[in-house]
Structure 1
């Protein structure tokens, strides 16, 4: 399923953009998710990862609309945009030669069941037809916050960002740990087996735009075929099968000399946290001076009209009032 006309020819310097997006309120999609989870949970009891099926994981708070506005404001020379979805598209999305909607089914193995684990989908992104060698991968709740310098992000080595605080890790995967912690544990074990002297840092990676090289992801897939196959067997996220892109990919790129690791404390807004209001105030005060920021929906099963959720679009409309070229103008402020 596509919304674009034929794309212009690629050039070696082009940096494409890949987003994952879903509209969790769509009744057709919601019914599909509910039926799929009932069947999956029956076959996989006690396997669901922490927060693996909460509404907040799939809820659309208009983040994508504003992330695209931020993209055009801070990185106007970006390449083609790929929007990876589950047979959906936003009502406000205007057909554009600069954007292609990619259905999950075109990336999954033929005959695959519907997938509700983003870790599964993101493991396939480097197989998007026509994707440039260099690309940014963003979840729709991640935003550029200042002018993008492509050479700083990509340069001689890619930039990856680790959070400053250490995380207490158990020795093995556990159902109580978050997907990021379990991914860190498994990454450490995998890298220690392949790199003598490898020393693991018990920290997780920031919610950030991910600077990627398509050829490196193909190389990692060749090196870790069993892990990729496991991730691509998931329907919902299982604590026994951590994602690859959020931890193993950046750690391996650093270890192999393909990436440079920085410890960074970016603005991470947790909408369900007691300090969320202060975090939004920080965003309003420092917008334009932040390399990137994330607004993570941690309200889980809150109602759609919960004030904590309405604050997201209200704040972003103040910061990014100018519609992007990807919007129908008469619907540009529908979320305000």
Structure 2
């Protein structure tokens, strides 16, 4: 078997088998983690702080995208045959973009608020209220909607080989114009927020390391949150944006009758993998809850402890059903 055919089979296996599995996995995992996180927030609604408003919107953004995942899974299981209509194809892609860029926007807001609270506490103490956070959240949603709305005016569906495609970007005829739009979108929706986030947390870490009197718990909390943000951007956001624009550029070159693009197939395959990774942000975002919402870490530990106690009690009352080790901690 030639290398080209083998590569094509690997891409088909990923698209038609593995990618739908990722979508279904993310759907159930994100449904549970985001539901639990939002429930914890709403239980403490009266104590809702500035940052928790952004965490709440982060969770709501995830719920906007989750209903679309089963339909995308069906699409790829049917070997990329879209049976749900042109309008719903555009709605599905729009919900994905709202979730993606809304998540980036609210993670940036959390970073800026952390920066102000730690580096400039006297300037902002008592001046930033929950009302300000709500107003900023509305502005973020409006900005993300304005950025994402033009995407819906590009061709998203087409008939090819008796199957109906639902494009993640657009059809071949509009790809050159779409590349320009995508580059501007990447700059305003991803690159600028990334630089702001890195700048804020970079300065916070420098300040915390220089100040010997800083609470060690606060320092560890900020370092953990910085690690989570770096993980989100490195795994979910950076590969997706880089490979998406490279794939669009390769399609533009093909439209211009370039004879051969050696890297085109590899970039396309890598972009397909990045599309599976980027949807993981819906499942990874709840990690932010653990480091921004009061008492949630304690709730997790309490839940695990209660589960273990229940299991031990069950084993004690049913000694004949489950072989119990003499030392439970070694099981």
Compute the TM-score of the two structures, normalised by the length of structure 2. 0.25
Q: Which has the higher contact order (CA 8 A, sep 6+)?
A: 1
Which has the larger helix fraction? 2
Which has the larger strand fraction? 1
Compute the TM-score of the two structures, normalised by the length of structure 1. 0.25
* Higher-Rg member (1/2): 2
